[in-house]
Amino acid sequence: MGSREPTPAMNHAREVAVFPTAADLARAVADEFASQGRECVARSGRFTVALAGGNTPRQAYELIPTDLPWDKFHVFFGDERPVPPDDAASNYRMARESLLSRVPIPDSNVHRICAELEPETAAQLYEDQLRECFPGEVIPRFDLVLLGMGTDGHTASLFPETGALRERKRLVVANWVEKLNQSRITLTIPVLNAATRVVFLVAGDDKATVLKRVLRDPSGEQYPVQFIRPGSGSVKWMLDSQAARLIEGFGPGAVTQRN
């Protein structure tokens, strides 16, 4: 066989950008957040974004500029662990420390998942919040959803072999995750797939194997992250070169390829 086969064309609009280091990735994600925010406010008067949790986003959140129209931004969360907001494991705490505490966003524009409550109550409360913030939208359409990916291919708190993967009506569910022995609150697949733009931020060598399988088979259903295929939205994978090291055709450097 001649040159290495490029990653097969995907059946939906998708962009992949690879950055040399996690720091370069963080800068690029911060820039993406800022440009999406400015454009949405200019276009519609507000910007609705669901933040990713975990560790990878922290460095990017720390770089998001303060000189944005924060009074027009509404920040939500893709998922939350069953802990209070000041717990070290809280996605809200991570976002507050890295971003929300240093920008002039009105408290009422930060929509926290009250995951310290009984799971079903927390899920229903968050669904109610979504419906209030997206009046008239059967399924809320976020301007931007930031998502990470675990080494098992989970995203948000949609873990392999969990009930939330089958949910097609509710917006938010309490998802029992056996391997974590805990219930997590998560946006559901219909909400994530309604987004105007989904950005995955993935860094680290430990993600490379699953990432290769996912990007080579975007319509597969082996991993939860493959269920995220926005019907009319765009998807951008923002990777560091470690995570992208097994993906053919994408070398290090800010390489962008549309499929």
Footprint of ligand 6PG (CB under 6 A): 52-56, 78-79, 91, 148-150, 154-157
In terms of CB distance, is 157 or 183 closer to ligand 6PG? 157
Least Å distance, CB 189 to ligand 6PG, is 14
Under 8 Å between Cβ of 182 and 162: no
Residue 198 has phi, psi (to 5 degrees) of -115, 130
By beta-carbon proximity to ligand 6PG, the closer residue of 5 and 206 is 206
Dist CA 183 CA 163 (whole Å):
11
Rounded least distance, CB 67 to ligand 6PG, Å: 27
Nearest to ligand 6PG of 72, 154 (CB atom): 154
Closest contact distance (angstroms) between CB of 149 and ligand 6PG is: 6
Judged by beta carbon, residue 148 or residue 233, the one nearer ligand 6PG is: 148
Q: Which residue is nearest to ligand 6PG (CB)?
A: 148
- Please state the closest distance from residue 201 (CB atom) to ligand 6PG, in A: 8
**Closest CB 188 distance from ligand 6PG, rounded Å:** 14
By C-beta, is 72 or 129 nearer to ligand 6PG?
129
